[in-house]
Amino acid sequence: MARRAKVLAEGTDLAPIDEDAAIFPISVAAGLAGMHPQTLRGYDRLGLVVPSRAKSRGRRYTARDITRLRLVQHLSQEEGINLSGIRRILELETRIDRLNEQIDQLTDTVRRMQDAEYHGNADLPRVFTAESTGLVHMGRTIVRAQLALPSR
């Protein structure tokens, strides 16, 4: 059996497991996280780690859920943080992840717009810029010609 597993591992390019695929029942997830299944049920009730549900209403955990369970266990047992504190930490981490995704999307959008401007594609919308006075312009900042000094 071990030889067959080794041959399969060496000879096959296995697709990585999707971290968001709900495939682990509660007993397997508890074993992978090193917890009792009842602890997972309690965390579900508290909203710390909420698994998806199968058609039979059984809990199904993802690899991401198991990583989160391990984090909850670490924060609770080794850092001494109570469950309310852990809930707040998890909320903030989720918020940071969403903000980082938005930053990545905005960065990609700006990069595409800059590339289009560089290559002379005028069909794409321009980026707005603003002066220190708050005046908004389309595209690059407009540099106005200096007029003659006012007369005295």
**Alpha carbons 41 and 37: distance in angstroms, whole number:** 6
**Consecutive sets of 10 residues in the chain, 152 residues long: mean pLDDT of each?**
48 72 89 94 92 86 92 94 94 94 91 74 63 70 57 62
The pLDDT value recorded for residue 121 is 60
Displacement of CA 57 from its chain's centroid (Å): 27
- Residue 83 belongs to what H/E stretch? helix 83-118
The pLDDT value recorded for residue 4 is 46
The answer to whether the beta carbons of residues 70 and 33 sit under 8 Å apart is yes
DSSP-based three-state secondary structure for 131: coil
Count CA within 13 A, CB hemisphere, residue 32: 17
